[in-house]
Amino acid sequence: MTQQTWLTQEAYDRLRSELEYLTGTWRTEIATKIEAAREEGDLRENGGYHAAKEEQGKQEARIRQLMDLLRDARVGETSPAVSGEAGPGMIVEIRFPGEKETEKFLIGSREDHSTSIEVFSPASPLGGAVTGHKAGETVNYTLPNGRSAAVEIVAVSPYAG
């Protein structure tokens, strides 16, 4: 099952530009680097060749990651879930038990750097716990250290940019 990712328009455009650069200009540049290094001779002791091949492998992995992310992205649309439910594209305001102050975060892709608000993936422990829940509900989730925590959902609203 593929998980759909919510992105702001700015994040989508930035990631799309990165993908276009990597699949166009960058691939041409790395092929030139590899060919030039190959012409230097013995490949077993050719540091430039091996460095270029390693860079190529890393960037090809990034290309696959971007292609998967952008293929399944919902851009600028809030969650189709019932109004008031936390989900991708929604700002969630929470309060931890015993605390007076609240915290807000966006449920979306960690690739989205176009917003000043903290972003939690729906696959993260907290993002997953609040997804599908409404204001006034308290949900429990498991912290990375294995302990359990509770959080009250104070408000849920669509991301407006």
Looking at residue 83, its pLDDT comes to 62
Query: What predicted TM-score, i.e. pTM, was given to this entire model?
Result: 0.59
d(CA 68, CA 109): 13
Identify the CATH class of 5-74: mainly alpha
Same fold, 5-74 and 78-158: no
- Tell me, what's the pLDDT at 80? 46
Return the pLDDT at 78.
52
Please say whether the structural domain 78-158 has been given the CATH code 3.40.640.10: no
Q: Which residues contact 115 (CB under 8 A, 6 or more apart)?
A: 8, 106, 159, 161
In tens digits, what is the pLDDT along the chain, a chain of 161 residues? 445 677 777 778 888 998 999 999 999 999 998 888 888 877 777 788 888 889 999 999 989 988 887 887 777 655 444 467 888 888 899 999 989 999 999 888 767 666 678 888 888 899 989 988 999 999 999 988 999 999 999 999 887 76
With both helix axes pointing from N to C terminus, report the angle between 47-71 and 9-21 in degrees, rounded to the nearest 10: 140
Cα dihedral angle (103, 107, 110, 114), rounded to 10 degrees? -80
Domain ranges of the chain: 5-74, 78-158
